[in-house]
Amino acid sequence: MASAASEALAVLEANGIGCIFGNPGTTEVPFLDASVSSGIDFHLCLHEGVAVAMADGYGRATRSTGVVMVHTSVGTANTLANLINLRSDRSPLLVIAGDKDDRLSARGCFCEVPDLPGLVRQVTKEAWRVTLPEKLPELVLRGLKVAAAPAPGPVFLAVPENYMAAELDAGFVGRDRRRADRVTLRAHPEELARIVEALGSAERPLIIAGNGVGAGSALPLLVDLVERLCIPVVGEEVFTTNALNFPTDHPCYHGNFSAQSAVVADADVVVALGARLFMEYAWPEQAALHPGIRLLQIGADADELGKIYPAELAVLADVDDAICGLHRIAVDSAGPTAAKLAQRRTRTFVPRGAPLSSGAGAVLSGAGMALETVGAVAQHAGFAGSADTAVADTSLSAALAGIDTAATGTIAAMMNSPMQRMQPVRLLQRMDEILPEDIVIVDESVLSKSMMQSHFRLSGRRTYFGTSGGGLGWGIPAAVGVQLGMPGRRVVAFVGDGGALFNIHALWTAAHLGAPVVAVIINNDGYMAVRRGLGQFDRAAQQANCFPGSSFSMPTIDIPMIARGFGVRAFTVRSEEELVDALRIALDSGQPSVIDAHVVSSHYY
């Protein structure tokens, strides 16, 4: 005999799931109780939004499906913003929510909503309610399959309390303890050959490498392909990029997609690989792809193929598999002539030290996209950062060397002038120098995201996770989840001060589990995206020089003190030297840490 809850956990275990992230109530007690004798750990999160993002980070780091448990209607409601993120990021997740005893339905019971799955139906692939105890293990298995099937996304399962503890008939015990079926998509070789031919014969070809590339493992083959055919590459738009889709220091890489960039504007053939075309932020006054372009698209998400711009060829396929196929065909075929390759070189290779033409600053900025001229990425050494000078050298290193850094507290803060602030570009450049070769970045930095994409080298053994969803409060918990899923790597959360404060209590779970994540918080005094939006709107707020809803002053927020309250060590840094010292100490300590990095806020508006 086994209870429906313990059988559901056995199905999860059969699928290699070792932990559930959640925030329970008494309704979910049968699940918690069953977990004690299962091989599954329950990781307590202090808010359901934290649980969703942490499970997402863990799932993305381990290339598996994250699992979350939440409490009835109220807990489900708190999952929404991060479920919107996961839906946008095509990230698989299974949410199991306890529901009230179904004999209480329509009696106005505690926490009752008439249709619990209905709360999340718009932002999940499927949302079901278990209608018999025997259905619970079956739907857990089906949920795992649907969540991971292309295009992946979150699945929701409401489980009435009285079904969880119910004992199952022998025939149902063990029935669903198997791996969820995987769905495979294979591109047809003839279609791939057409794409290789189009790339070879084009005058001005372009490849858009999207999140489908970064989510897979065929990037080295794509790099080899573009080198063979001498083709420029752009990534997805900055704000939709959620993975390392192409090495940012590669000479063929022209930054993130921008309709204004030269390689986009003059292209005659565009091949989009696992890329969204597009997730529009504002109505495009000009087409992102000009009408004469021949567009050929490959992706595992049918909705994205030919979505806004007509595709000459739209291939529904696994992106890794397609890249392998394209590469094989390119290797076996004659390819472009030597004369053609020579012709392409000038257009394809980014000159060392030249500014990128991409609009890498197109981020969540309200009316109009902010365009930031970014440094060249042809060579790491060629990064052309802001010409602004850094603040004065406070030379903390010597002082820090003699201080017992085991004490929690903001050592740096004690030695700082409150007026000092770093240029944000410098923050990125110093991070780039200090962080290890195999660092994992988890990015929710809003207006700083373009700088992360252009001034921090993302290549080689480095890994990058971001979100395209726009729901703040993903970054820190996702980083904790990534760290738990990649215990052998160091993980840095790169988050805005605004975003950080949506789910900062994720730090407690990091401290509790000893996950040594380092959160670098870009402290620019608040919601600079809102501040910039008001400025660009250029009406009353701009004229009165008064920007409601954007500043964290009066009082200022003591982020390090909050972090220490959750058991995490914290540093305030206001100069590059302090940043470097704090990063070193944080990385060496092997403990979760917060670095509250004060940057010049006027940079953002």
Ligand X SMILES: Cc1ncc(C[n+]2csc(CCOP(=O)(O)OP(=O)(O)O)c2C)c(N)n1
Nearest CB to Mg ion, comparing residues 471 and 498 = 498
Nearest CB to Mg ion, comparing residues 505 and 532 = 532
Q: Hey, is 16 helix, strand or coil?
A: coil
* Cβ-based neighbour number of residue 36 at 10 Å: 9
Instruction: Tell me whether strands 269-273 and 253-256 are parallel, antiparallel or unpaired.
Output: unpaired
Count of H-run helices and E-run strands, the chain:
23, 18
Nearest CB to ligand X, comparing residues 405 and 524 = 524
Residue 470 binds which entry of ligand X, Mg ion, none, with Cβ cut-offs from 5 to 8 Å by kind?
ligand X
Nearest CB to ligand X, comparing residues 246 and 474 = 474
CB of 192 to ligand X, least distance (A): 39
Q: Which residues pair with 273 in a beta bridge?
A: 209, 298
Residue 253 binds which entry of Mg ion, ligand X, none, with Cβ cut-offs from 5 to 8 Å by kind?
none
CB of 76 to Mg ion, least distance (A): 29
CB of 448 to ligand X, least distance (A): 6
Residue 447 binds which entry of Mg ion, ligand X, none, with Cβ cut-offs from 5 to 8 Å by kind?
ligand X
Residue 570 binds which entry of Mg ion, ligand X, none, with Cβ cut-offs from 5 to 8 Å by kind?
none
Residue 424 binds which entry of Mg ion, ligand X, none, with Cβ cut-offs from 5 to 8 Å by kind?
none
Residue 442 binds which entry of ligand X, Mg ion, none, with Cβ cut-offs from 5 to 8 Å by kind?
none
Residue 152 binds which entry of ligand X, Mg ion, none, with Cβ cut-offs from 5 to 8 Å by kind?
none
CB of 511 to Mg ion, least distance (A): 24
Query: Between the CA of residue 579 and those of 342, 352, 431, 447, 560, what are the distances in Å?
Result: 45, 28, 8, 20, 14
Query: Between the CA of residue 131 and those of 7, 141, 159, 489, what are the distances in Å?
Result: 16, 15, 8, 43
HSE-CB at 309 with a 13 A cutoff on CA atoms is 23
CB 289 within 8 A of CB 270: yes
Query: Between the CA of residue 17 and those of 179, 235, 265, 410, 413, what are the distances in Å?
Result: 11, 32, 46, 38, 42
**By the criterion CB under 5 A, which residues form the site for Mg ion?**
496-498, 524, 528
CB of 455 to ligand X, least distance (A): 15
Q: Round to whole Å and give the CA distance between 234 and 210.
A: 9
CB of 498 to ligand X, least distance (A): 3
The two three-digit tokens of residue 580, written as one number: 């470097």
Q: Hey, is 526 helix, strand or coil?
A: strand
CB of 52 to ligand X, least distance (A): 12
Nearest CB to Mg ion, comparing residues 214 and 535 = 535
Query: Between the CA of residue 21 and those of 67, 116, 481, what are the distances in Å?
Result: 6, 20, 9
Nearest CB to Mg ion, comparing residues 176 and 497 = 497
**By the criterion CB under 6 A, which residues form the site for ligand X?**
81, 364, 446-448, 470-473, 496-499, 502, 524, 527-530
Nearest CB to ligand X, comparing residues 467 and 575 = 467
